[in-house]
Amino acid sequence: MIHSLFLINSSGDIFLEKHWKSVVSRSVCDYFFEAQERATEAENVPPVIPTPHHYLLSVYRHKIFFVAVIQTEVPPLFVIEFLHRVVDTFQDYFGVCSEPVIKDNVVVVYEVLEEMLDNGFPLATESNILKELIKPPTILRTVVNTITGSTNVGDQLPTGQLSVVPWRRTGVKYTNNEAYFDVIEEIDAIIDKSGSTITAEIQGVIDACVKLTGMPDLTLSFMNPRLLDDVSFHPCVRFKRWESERTLSFIPADGSFRLLSYHVSAQNLVAIPVYVKHNISFRDSSSLGRFEITVGPKQTMGKTIEGVMVTSQMPKGVLNMSLTPSQGTHTFDPVTKMLSWDVGKINPQKLPSLKGTMSLQAGASKPDENPTINLQFKIQQLAISGLKVNRLDMYGEKYKPFKGIKYMTKAGKFQVRT
């Protein structure tokens, strides 16, 4: 399966290599560099590159290319998914996944990679287990280790590895038993010129942060489970209970994990919480264009819209913009032609607007199209799909846990065409 792994930074240096089978010369990466050169941007490097003797599968995250070298047929998604898992694990271990961090922790990285794959086949990828095998570095532990000579490496086989619940270790103890769930929904939408919705859909996740003693068995039920159209679960969720009762029944992993991600069925109309009024016009003769946008709340169920951010890629012909916002701050980068306006909170009584003029390149004809406006926003305490958790029950343990549920709606890829 996975033969070797190379980590390459954005300037093209291989700063880490790991081989699980015989050593593959790093010159194999030359093919990768070639492909990288051809694809002008990092995002455009093809994930699968065939070379005469190997295949290079890569993912690009945190400005690092993770390039896996494969020799034989293997489902490409298998490798890609694994590489993403590697990145997630690093992030979990070190907080961030960046070149300096990996370089500083090269030994831990190496030990982790060694545990994750054996002969190129995934061995332990569950971060709970890995953390028992190799403890993540903390300042305290480094100090203690240097003093006592103890190590980061556990000498016992993680109990989870053998049990039927590999995601949870035994003997967990907390003084405060708590279980928090965050329901986070994202709206992806494209709004056309006239303000009508071309496409809109809602994706959601439920992130859990569970700190419970022992082996609790939780059941989470919804008021309106029918809303959930297409779901994917953390391995801990019992499929059968979901199929028959539409409730989530699970023995949770310890700590933070993503319990569920879902998609809201297409039949439900998506409430669009924001509208944008825009008036962007170029004229053929003049070198000045008009620019005016106003953002306002639409269907928000009485909640305030926060963290509003408007960005727009202006056409190449725009040299500069002189704008005045009624609130917030705005910037325009004349090199990348990126306009961004940090609006903040929307006050329905006084709608935020951004007005002004654009100066265009003299003599150049007017741009073909008006720029598209990208929106970001957040609404606390609201799941826009209307999804509601009914109750959370715990079995198997005696104590009373503290439970909490939070809802939030965010903009995903929210575009307004003008």
Partner 1 sequence: MSSNSFAYNEQSGGGEATELGQEATSTISPSGAFGLFSSDLKKNEDLKQMLESNKDSAKLDAMKRIVGMIAKGKNASELFPAVVKNVASKNIEIKKLVYVYLVRYAEEQQDLALLSISTFQRALKDPNQLIRASALRVLSSIRVPIIVPIMMLAIKEASADLSPYVRKNAAHAIQKLYSLDPEQKEMLIEVIEKLLKDKSTLVAGSVVMAFEEVCPDRIDLIHKNYRKLCNLLVDVEEWGQVVIIHMLTRYARTQFVSPWKEDDGLEDNEKNFYESDDEQKEKTDKRKKTYAMDPDHRLLIRNTKPLLQSRNAAVVMAVAQLYWHIAPKSETGIISKSVVRLLRSNREVQYIVLQNIATMSIQRKGMFEPYLKSFYVRSTDPTMIKTLKCYNFLTYVKSQDKQFAAATIQTIGRCATNISEVTDTCLNGLVCLLSNRDEIVVAESVVVIKKLLQMQPAQHGEIIKHMAKLLDSITVPVARASILWLIGENCERVPKIAPDVLRKMAKSFTSEDDLVKLQILNLGAKLYLTNSKQTKLLTQYILNLGKYDQNYDIRDRTRFIRQLIVPNEKSGALSKYAKKIFLAQKPAPLLESPFKDRDHFQLGTLSHTLNAKATGYLELSNWPEVAPDPSVRNVEVIELAKEWTPAGKAKKENSAKKFYSESEEEEDSSDSSSDSESGSGSESGEQGESGEEGDSSEDSSEDSSSGQESESGKFPSKNILWYIPQEKEKKTKQDRNPLTKDVSLLDLDDCLYSCLCTNENSCAASSNEWKRTSCQLLLSETALHFW
Site for partner 1 in 18-37 (CB under 8 A): 18-19, 21-23, 26
**Alpha-carbon gap, residue 381 to 269, rounded angstroms:** 20
Q: Which of the ranges 30-38, 118-126, 321-329, 392-400 carries the binding residues for partner 1, by CB under 8 A?
A: 118-126
99/394 with CB nearer partner 1: 99
Q: Per CB under 8 A, does 153 bind partner 1?
A: yes
In the complex, the smallest distance separating the C-beta of residue 130 from partner 1, rounded to whole angstroms, is 13
The size of the interface with partner 1 (CB under 8 A), counted in residues, is 87
5/179 with CB nearer partner 1: 5
Residue from 63, 59, 30, 55 nearest 45 by CA: 59
Of the residues 12, 95, 195, 235, which one makes contact with partner 1 according to CB under 8 A = 235
Of the residues 37, 118, 178, 245, which one makes contact with partner 1 according to CB under 8 A = 118
Q: What is the 3-state secondary structure (H, E, C) of 361-386?
A: CCCCCCCCCCCCEEEEEEEECCCCCC
Of the residues 139, 140, 147, 269, which one makes contact with partner 1 according to CB under 8 A = 147
Q: Per CB under 8 A, does 72 bind partner 1?
A: yes
Q: Per CB under 8 A, does 233 bind partner 1?
A: yes
Q: 260 near 206, Cβ under 8 Å?
A: yes
Q: Per CB under 8 A, does 81 bind partner 1?
A: yes
Of the residues 203, 294, 357, 376, which one makes contact with partner 1 according to CB under 8 A = 203
165/309 with CB nearer partner 1: 165
Q: Per CB under 8 A, does 263 bind partner 1?
A: yes
205/351 with CB nearer partner 1: 205
In the complex, the smallest distance separating the C-beta of residue 158 from partner 1, rounded to whole angstroms, is 9
Interior angle at CA 101, CA 97 and CA 103, nearest 5 = 120
Of the residues 35, 76, 101, 137, which one makes contact with partner 1 according to CB under 8 A = 76
For residue 258, what are its two tokens?
């993503």
Site for partner 1 in 308-367 (CB under 8 A): 313, 365
Q: Which of the ranges 240-248, 293-301, 324-332, 401-409 carries the binding residues for partner 1, by CB under 8 A?
A: 240-248
36/177 with CB nearer partner 1: 36
In the complex, the smallest distance separating the C-beta of residue 301 from partner 1, rounded to whole angstroms, is 24
For residue 101, what are its two tokens?
């961090």
In the complex, the smallest distance separating the C-beta of residue 96 from partner 1, rounded to whole angstroms, is 18
Q: Per CB under 8 A, does 141 bind partner 1?
A: no
Q: Per CB under 8 A, does 201 bind partner 1?
A: yes
For residue 53, what are its two tokens?
């003797």
